[in-house]
Amino acid sequence: NQRILLASRPEGRPALENFKIETVPVAEPGEGEVLLKILYLSLDPYMRGRMSNARSYAQPVAIGDVMEGGTVGRVVRSRHAGFAEGDIVLSHSGWQSYAVARGDHLRKLDPAAAPISTALGVLGMPGFTAYSGLLTIGQPKPGETVVVAAASGAVGSAVGQIAKIKGARAVGIAGGPEKCAFARNELGFDAVIDHRAPDIAAQLAAACPGGIDVYFENVGGDIFAAVFPLLNKFARIPVCGLIAQYNDTGPRPAPDRLPGFMREVLSRSLLIRGFIQREFADQRPAFYEEMAAWIASGQVRYREDIVDGLESAPEAFFGLLEGRNFGKLVIRVAE
Ligand code: NDP
């Protein structure tokens, strides 16, 4: 079993030395467990948080433990009545090529219904994040303007398309001309802005002539600063992620903007609410049903960025934090 451990905690940007790759014997499943051959490993921004000791909504990975992560695997040995050899399942087995998992922690996948890797993306945790955060907190109405950054990515691409399904105008922000063209032409965003352009505040204002009613916050940092002046009265801001800040080591030197920010929250009656997708777990059955139908009808499209080989995971993960991925980032661990 090849596996990747957390070797040390990064200060700022993570590096190869923070990981250790090793090979150990494959474990045997006990009663109620299955042995999985891992086929796909999901790489997600939250993993940066698990590498760190900073206070968070979840425990960090311990030094010397296998890095955490969602996986799709094939059952190679089963000691659980609900699973047979050959079944394809969703598990949370982390960065390794084989894993023992408890049967009651698994979700069986139907390979005939959708490509199995989508259980880590549009039909999995990121898609559900978009669905639950946008609909529960953002509540887009017909004719309103919804803005989302990382618009070509796993979460952002679904946010924009669900906003369109609900009759809203979708404005995306993405890094570089290729991602912008994809979001406009393939995903159907009404307008897309490149955040690497120097005048993003002016471009965003031009793309949102009626202001912004929902800002789905994926990145934080400079993009939020450009969005904030455009927020309409009663705007809703689901705070999903702050990827632009994940490698920060402390507060940035800047004037204290908090009092001015709070004044605007008050005078414009803004709703700002953070969330972690699993808080909306009771919506998952509705999500699986609706999202599968939207994909089947072509109303939701998705793009995957598949990288081969478990040993590629650290480099691919660094790329995710810098926008080098193009679509949902997945490691193909085995065929
Ligand atoms: P993506 O597939 O969108 O990949 C990350 C993207 O973030 C990059 O491709 C890049 O896109 C963008 N990005 C990275 N660094 C910066 C930066 N400094 N400034 C602006 N953009 C940057 O990832 P996900 O869809 O998986 O995640 C999107 C967000 O959702 C993250 O913040 C993540 O933490 C959050 N999340 C939250 C969950 C929750 O429960 N609250 C659950 C899942 C995800 P580009 O090149 O276009 O800028």
Q: What is the 3-state secondary structure (H, E, C) of 205-266?
A: HHHCCCCEEEEEECCCHHHHHHHHHHEEEEEEEEECCCHHHCCCCCCCCCCCCHHHHHHHHH
Task: Tell me, using a 6 A CB cutoff, whether residue 170 lines ligand 1.
Answer: no
Same domain, 180 and 241: yes
Q: What is the per-residue pLDDT for 250? A: 85
- Domain of 6: which CATH number? 3.90.180.10
Same domain, 189 and 326: no
What is the pLDDT confidence band of residue 257, given thresholds at 50, 70 and 90?
A: confident
Task: Tell me, using a 6 A CB cutoff, whether residue 314 lines ligand 1.
Answer: no
CA distance 155 to 240: 9
pLDDT surpassing 90 at residue 161: yes
Tell me whether residue 177 is in a domain: yes
Residue 54 is given by DSSP the state: S
Tell me whether residue 298 is in a domain: no
Instruction: Compute the distance from residue 317 Cα to the ligand 1 centre, in Å.
Output: 12
Tokens of 181: 């063209």
Q: How many CB atoms lie within 10 A of CB 196?
A: 12
Same domain, 149 and 236: yes
- pTM here is 0.97
CA distance 93 to 96: 7
Q: Which of 188, 86, 71 is nearest to 124 (CA)?
A: 71
pLDDT surpassing 90 at residue 40: yes
Tell me whether residue 76 is in a domain: yes
What are the residues facing 102 on neighbouring strands? 33
Task: Tell me, using a 6 A CB cutoff, whether residue 157 lines ligand 1.
Answer: no
Buried/exposed code over 274-303 (b: 16+ C-beta within 10 A; e: otherwise): eeebeebeebeeebbebbbebbeeeebebb
Mean pLDDT of 72-93: 98
Same domain, 158 and 249: yes
CA distances to 93, 152, 207, 323 from 161, rounded to whole Å, are 30, 11, 17, 20
pLDDT surpassing 90 at residue 251: no
In this prediction the ipTM stands at 0.98
Tokens of 37: 């051959």
Same domain, 95 and 209: no
Same domain, 276 and 150: yes
What is the pLDDT confidence band of residue 169, given thresholds at 50, 70 and 90?
A: very high
CA distance 49 to 80: 33
Give the whole-number percent of the chain exceeding pLDDT 90.
94
Q: Measured from the CA of 241, which atom of ligand 1 is nearest?
A: 32
Task: Tell me, using a 6 A CB cutoff, whether residue 156 lines ligand 1.
Answer: yes
Give 217's contacts (C-beta < 8 A, 6+ positions apart): 149, 224, 237, 238, 239, 240, 241, 242
Q: What is the per-residue pLDDT for 253? A: 81
Q: pLDDT of 95-153, one tens digit each?
A: 999 999 999 999 999 999 999 999 999 999 999 999 999 999 999 999 999 999 999 99
Ligand 1: residue of 123, 243, 275 to mutate (most ligand atoms within 8 A of CB) is 243
Domain assignment of residue 116, given as a range: 2-121+303-332
Same domain, 63 and 182: no
- What is the SS3 assignment for 71? strand
Same domain, 106 and 187: no
pLDDT surpassing 90 at residue 48: yes
Q: Which of 281, 273, 212 is nearest to 238 (CA)?
A: 273
Average pLDDT in the chain = 97
pLDDT surpassing 90 at residue 254: no
Same domain, 317 and 243: no
